[in-house]
Amino acid sequence: MVMKVFEERRSIRRFGDRPVEDEKLQAVLEAARLAPSWANMQCWTYVVVKDRETREAVSATLERNPAQRSVVEAPVLIVACADPELSGKVKDQSYYLVDIGISLQHLCLEACNQGLGTCWIGWFDEDRVKSILGIPENIRVVAMTPLGYPAVYPEARGRKPLEEIVFRERWGQR
Ligand SMILES: Cc1cc2nc3c(=O)[nH]c(=O)nc-3n(C[C@H](O)[C@H](O)[C@H](O)COP(=O)(O)O)c2cc1C
């Protein structure tokens, strides 16, 4: 079941305008809520945007991004925010990015399970997004995703074979 979702999920960049049912929106947010996090601190906050004008303003911050149009086409935009103070930092590795990454991916996988499409968007003008949505100074906007019914379901993008990404017992040992 989970494996099927892993295999079928795609980054969806073209959407129809069919609205997302409230129960489905609730289910994907619930999936995000259940994610593990550093010391269970749950550093995340999600801003759910349905207002078209606001989505158009956010879309303008995605200049040249292949997902720019998706934010207007899909009826819902989910903006993933994190408070870095509510997570760990070890030797320059900031775990708030991991926390929100897991949580947002939970959301994306449940969306796929519900027949909905998502696309991680990490390339945007954070300052402009913060100002459009009134997000406080200390909060980072890490990513966003459109949420809606896919209009185009793309071919699977390739992945490296396991032999290339797994060492056994020691670095360098295949
Ligand atoms: C952290 C992260 C940031 C991403 N940012 C963008 C983005 O700004 N624009 C976009 O079109 N896709 C973005 N993507 C989607 C990737 O391009 C996509 O996951 C990858 O090409 C594999 O395709 P698939 O998701 O359909 O398997 C991002 C994905 C991740 C995980």
Mean pLDDT, residues 124-148: 98
Instruction: Please tell me if the CB atom of residue 122 comes closer than 6 angstroms to any atom of ligand 1.
Output: yes
Give residue 121 CA to ligand 1 midpoint distance, Å: 6
Banded model confidence at residue 8, pLDDT cuts 50, 70, 90: very high
Strand, helix or coil for residue 56:
helix
For the entire predicted model, the pTM comes to 0.97
Cβ atoms of 70 and 12 closer than 8 Å:
yes
CA gap 158, 164 in Å, rounded: 13
CA gap 79, 144 in Å, rounded: 4
Q: Give the other-Cβ count within 10 Å of 92's Cβ.
A: 5
Instruction: Please tell me if the CB atom of residue 10 comes closer than 6 angstroms to any atom of ligand 1.
Output: yes
Q: H helices then E strands: how many in the chain?
A: 7, 6
Cβ atoms of 118 and 147 closer than 8 Å:
yes
Beta bridge partners of 77: 49, 146
Q: Which domains does the chain have, with CATH numbers?
A: 2-165 (3.40.109.10)
CA gap 34, 40 in Å, rounded: 10
Banded model confidence at residue 1, pLDDT cuts 50, 70, 90: confident
The CA radius of gyration of the chain, in Å to the nearest whole number, is 17
Cβ atoms of 141 and 112 closer than 8 Å:
no
Q: What pLDDT is recorded for position 17?
A: 87
- Over residues 25-79, the pLDDT tens digits come to 999 999 999 999 999 999 999 999 999 999 999 999 999 999 999 999 999 999 9
Instruction: Please tell me if the CB atom of residue 160 comes closer than 6 angstroms to any atom of ligand 1.
Output: no
